[in-house]
């Protein structure tokens, strides 16, 4: 299991543990509330004119407040249960995953095969008016597809509607662009820099541009960091955002993290495409 997967699993376990503790707390509060209410004689009203009125009223309020807290705590437990379930079921490919490019390429290949399959199926149906005789498709399944097309929307005259091919093709193009961005990021090999009172770290493993200060930034500085997309990470003790060209640009807009040598963060970064062009020019 990669470090990324380990962190994901730890996050899921944290949500589950949090939910369990909150459930136990909710049960405890509900139990205390019930015991307090059971101590009140059945049907016993508040005696307004009795000397015990204030004490009795406060006692009942505490019992009801405990039940209210129990309900509220159970809602919080439910929230963390849903977060744990969502994290377990989440199959989205994060850019933070070291294997993101590889996984995206595998997904792209599946979608391209699906696109080719849909086109082939539609072409066969247009030519023969039926799916019988197509590849390994059974006559029963072919008849089912034929019936679906026949009784479906009038504007869908083939097994796969135009919007299905269009949507799949749009996702293919989106994946290609995302892969290109991530490959460019890996190719660039971002670098950090020193600034007055701290250091900028291009953390490739965490996929974060991290601004680490010697002391706590002022309130005005913190506001500026947030404005440019940086968020405080207690775990890493750094102000950080995802490592990409946008992060480098954002850092360049924050005057108090300017590199000590006077250059901009962008000027410090390697530019492999430009270097490749220059190299090819020299070779010619």
Query: Sorting pLDDT into bands at 50, 70 and 90, what band is 51?
Result: low
In this prediction, residue 207 carries a pLDDT of: 84
Handedness of CA 210, 213, 216, 217 (dihedral sign): negative
Query: Sorting pLDDT into bands at 50, 70 and 90, what band is 60?
Result: confident
CA separation for the pair 191, 246 (Å, rounded): 14
In this prediction, residue 235 carries a pLDDT of: 85
Residues 125, 126, 131: CA angle, nearest 5 degrees: 10
pLDDT one-digit tens code per residue, 121-148 = 999 999 999 999 999 999 999 999 999 9
Tokens representing residue 42 in the block: 């059945």
Q: For residue 2, is pLDDT > 70?
A: no
- Is residue 105 packed enough to be buried (19+ CB in 10 Å), middle (13-18) or exposed (0-12)? middle
Handedness of CA 108, 111, 116, 119 (dihedral sign): negative
Range in 56-65, 80-89, 150-159 the model is least confident about: 56-65
Over the chain, what is the mean pLDDT?
88
In this prediction, residue 113 carries a pLDDT of: 97
- Which among 124, 118, 125, 113 has a CA at the least distance from the CA of 165? 118
In this prediction, residue 99 carries a pLDDT of: 84
Task: Quote the DSSP letter at residue 129.
Answer: S
Tokens representing residue 64 in the block: 């009801």
For the sheet containing 198-203, what is the strand order? 193-195, 198-203, 208-213, 238-242, 231-233
Is residue 195 within 8 A of residue 209, CB to CB? The reply is no
Q: For residue 89, is pLDDT > 90?
A: no
Going from N- to C-terminal start, the domains of the chain cover 3-89, 100-185, 193-274
Per cent of the chain over pLDDT 90 is 63
């Amino acid at each position: 299991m990669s470090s990324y997967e380990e962190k994901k699993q730890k996050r899921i376990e944290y949500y589950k543990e949090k939910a369990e503790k909150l459930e136990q707390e909710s049960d405890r509060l509900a139990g205390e509330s019930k015991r307090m209410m059971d101590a009140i004689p059945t049907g016993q009203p508040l005696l307004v004119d009795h000397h015990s009125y204030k004490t009795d009223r406060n006692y009942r309020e505490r019992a009801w407040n405990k039940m209210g807290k129990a309900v509220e705590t159970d809602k919080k437990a439910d929230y963390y249960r849903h977060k744990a379930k969502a994290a377990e079921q989440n199959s989205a490919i994060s850019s933070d995953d070291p294997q993101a490019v590889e996984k995206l390429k595998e997904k792209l290949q599946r979608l391209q095969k699906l696109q080719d399959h849909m086109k082939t199926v539609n072409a066969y149906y247009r030519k023969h008016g039926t799916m019988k005789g197509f590849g390994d498709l059974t006559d029963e399944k072919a008849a089912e597809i034929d019936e679906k097309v026949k009784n479906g929307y009038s504007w869908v005259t083939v097994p796969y509607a135009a919007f299905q091919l269009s949507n799949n093709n749009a996702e293919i193009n989106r994946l290609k662009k995302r892969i290109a961005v991530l490959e460019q990021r890996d190719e660039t090999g971002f670098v950090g820099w020193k600034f007055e009172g701290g250091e900028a770290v291009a953390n490739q493993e965490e996929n974060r541009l991290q601004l680490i200060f010697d002391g706590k930034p002022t309130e005005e500085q913190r506001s500026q960091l947030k404005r440019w997309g940086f968020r405080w990470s207690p775990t890493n003790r750094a102000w950080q955002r995802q490592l990409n060209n946008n992060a480098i640009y954002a850092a360049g807009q924050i005057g108090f993290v300017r590199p000590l040598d006077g250059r901009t963060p962008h000027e410090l970064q390697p530019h492999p495409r430009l270097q490749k062009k220059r190299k090819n020019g020299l070779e010619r």
